[in-house]
């Protein structure tokens, strides 16, 4: 209740006090740059290009993407193969790609959560059908969530 009151008060303050809204929600940066500072401006800035921060190399970007994707998958609850084998709700299957575009295809994604489930997934038409439909196989599954008759299969097809 206190949380609701606090959120309502903040909402009202944002809508009714323009100066608060301007300070709390500054305008977005201009297109093409992360800063409104102009090159050679009074601050001697570089126009929002990151200043002295070096850009990440492709290898560093791939490693970072792998780290982020794996962190999300590590939070999934482990489920037994018997649950996968018993799943029968064909209409309740979502196939969700993980790190499958751009440099993400090169990321090393940990499939240890799904590895013991891959043979049960391959043998279950309710799960294997949607995978095949979306261009994946049970070997591409890196995470599985089964909740109340709905399955979510997280897949990664690396290079």
Q: What is the domain partition of the chain in residue ranges?
A: 58-155
Q: What was the pLDDT predicted at 49? A: 58
Q: How far is CA 104 from CA 39, 57, 141, in A?
A: 33, 14, 15
Q: What is the pLDDT of residues 40-76, one digit of tens each?
A: 555 555 555 556 778 888 888 888 888 988 888 888 8
Mean pLDDT (whole number) for 91-113: 86
- d(CA 128, CA 138) in angstroms, rounded, equals 7
| 35-44, 45-54, 101-110: least confident range | 35-44
What's the mean pLDDT when you consider all of the chain? 75
């Amino acid at each position: 209740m206190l949380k609701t009151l606090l959120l309502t008060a903040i909402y009202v303050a944002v809508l009714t006090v323009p100066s608060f809204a301007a300070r709390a929600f500054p305008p977005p940066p201009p297109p093409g740059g992360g800063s409104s500072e102009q090159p050679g401006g009074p601050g001697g800035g570089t126009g929002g290009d990151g200043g002295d921060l070096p850009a990440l190399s492709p290898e560093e970007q791939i490693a970072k993407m792998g780290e982020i994707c794996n962190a999300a998958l590590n939070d999934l609850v482990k489920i037994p193969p018997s649950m996968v084998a018993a799943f029968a709700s064909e209409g309740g299957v979502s196939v969700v790609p993980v790190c499958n575009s751009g440099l993400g295809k090169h990321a090393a994604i940990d499939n240890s959560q799904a590895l013991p489930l891959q043979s049960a997934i391959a043998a279950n038409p309710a799960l294997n059908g949607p995978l095949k439909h979306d261009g994946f196989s049970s070997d591409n599954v890196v995470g599985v969530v089964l909740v109340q008759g709905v399955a979510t299969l997280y897949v990664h097809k690396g290079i």
